[in-house]
């Protein structure tokens, strides 16, 4: 028996007695993820370790990774647009907080259901007399919305046609316009609005309507160009997203990270003077 035949026979014998080997070889044991670095309490840059992102999305992703027995590292990749480019190119495997868009579908495989849902509420000043029972009640009232907001396509069309909305570069400026009386309301996420109100010291000056006007999902999305993108991974992630949605864990994780963000905002206690 020549050497080539012996080698081939040995390989076939190894695969026969170890049937899991070929399956394991096709699975990635380590994935690189990224997302928005400035969206507390969902995701933000870790002040103690700026190369990584922390937040509710990071905690839930870590939970999923443990359940699957794989390692998912959540890295800072720059601003939102840069993070998306890293995932589109395949240099990173996962986007943790992808909004569902037609453009996104060209480069990403979305995992359903979403990792998180971002309830958008109507925020007003505490002394406001504006009564909002449905989105149509906002018609004729000036409002503001951050350019970073990611609404559903349906609500975006409605807002464009029916509402008088000023787009601001960020949520900070939108809330400032509200306080100055330049607008009557701001559309902002339930938790991102709370985080920003606490950041600005406005938690006692603003109120939010209880019912959301829009509920866009924040999805895990796998790059088409990721070497790890295969049916096994997508199927396992979808199963874990379904289990997560039914577990009730998400609300607790969001609340914990809201408190975590609030704690980070507190100025350090200065050393006593000698």
How sure is the predictor about 6, in pLDDT bands with cuts at 50, 70 and 90? very low
Query: DSSP string covering 150-206, please?
Result: ---HHHHHHHHHH-EEEEESSHHHHHHHHHTTS-SEEEEEHHHHHHHHHHTT-TTTE
On the question of pLDDT at 10 being above 70, the answer is: no
How sure is the predictor about 267, in pLDDT bands with cuts at 50, 70 and 90? low
Q: Which is more confident, 26 or 126? A: 126
- pLDDT number for residue 221: 98
On the question of pLDDT at 15 being above 90, the answer is: no
How sure is the predictor about 244, in pLDDT bands with cuts at 50, 70 and 90? very high
What does pTM read for this prediction?
A: 0.84
Mean pLDDT of the chain, nearest integer: 89
Q: pLDDT (tens digit, 9 = 90+) per residue, 166-225?
A: 999 999 999 999 999 999 999 999 999 999 999 999 999 999 999 999 999 999 999 999
Q: Record the tokens describing residue 238, joined without a space.
A: 């979808």
- pLDDT number for residue 266: 74
Q: Which is more confident, 14 or 214? A: 214
Cα 69 from Cα 233, distance rounded (Å): 12
Q: pLDDT (tens digit, 9 = 90+) per residue, 227-240?
A: 999 999 999 999 99
Contacts with 219 (C-beta within 8 Å, 6 or more apart), sequence order: 95, 97, 98, 99, 100, 110, 111, 112, 114, 115
On the question of pLDDT at 12 being above 50, the answer is: no
Q: pLDDT (tens digit, 9 = 90+) per residue, 86-124?
A: 999 999 999 999 999 999 999 999 999 999 999 999 999
- pLDDT number for residue 265: 82
Cα 177 from Cα 271, distance rounded (Å): 37
- pLDDT number for residue 4: 47
**Alpha helix ranges (H) inside the chain:** 3-17, 20-25, 56-68, 80-89, 102-105, 153-162, 171-179, 190-199, 231-247, 249-265
How sure is the predictor about 268, in pLDDT bands with cuts at 50, 70 and 90? low
CB neighbourhood size of 206 (10 A): 21
Phi first, then psi: give them for residue 267, nearest 5 degrees. Answer: -65, 145
Mean pLDDT, range 50-66, rounded to an integer? 97
On the question of pLDDT at 13 being above 50, the answer is: no
């Amino acid at each position: 028996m020549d050497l080539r035949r012996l080698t081939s026979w040995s390989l076939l014998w190894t695969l026969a007695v170890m049937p899991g080997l070929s399956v394991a070889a096709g699975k990635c044991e380590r994935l690189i993820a990224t997302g928005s670095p400035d969206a507390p309490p969902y995701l933000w840059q870790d002040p103690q370790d700026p190369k990584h992102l922390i937040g509710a999305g990071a905690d839930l992703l870590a939970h999923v990774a443990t359940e699957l027995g794989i390692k998912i590292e959540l890295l800072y990749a720059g601003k939102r647009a840069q993070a998306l480019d890293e995932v589109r190119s395949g240099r990173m495997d996962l986007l943790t907080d992808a909004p569902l868009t037609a453009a996104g579908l060209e480069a990403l495989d979305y995992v359903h259901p979403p990792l998180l849902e971002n309830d958008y509420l109507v925020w007003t000043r505490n002394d406001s007399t504006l009564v909002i029972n449905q989105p149509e009640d906002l018609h004729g009232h000036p409002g503001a919305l951050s350019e970073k907001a990611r609404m559903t396509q349906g609500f975006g069309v409605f807002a464009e046609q029916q509402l008088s909305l000023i787009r601001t570069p960020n949520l900070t400026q939108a809330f400032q316009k509200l306080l100055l009386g330049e607008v009557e309301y701001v559309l902002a996420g339930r938790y991102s609005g709370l985080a920003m109100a606490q950041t600005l010291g406005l938690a006692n000056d603003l109120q939010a309507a209880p019912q959301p006007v829009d509920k866009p999902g924040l999805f895990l999305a796998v790059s088409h160009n990721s070497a790890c993108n295969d049916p096994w991974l997508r199927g396992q992630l979808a199963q874990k997203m379904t289990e997560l949605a039914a577990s009730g864990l998400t609300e607790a994780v969001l609340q914990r990270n809201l408190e975590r963000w609030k704690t980070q905002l507190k100025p350090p206690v200065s050393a006593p003077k000698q």
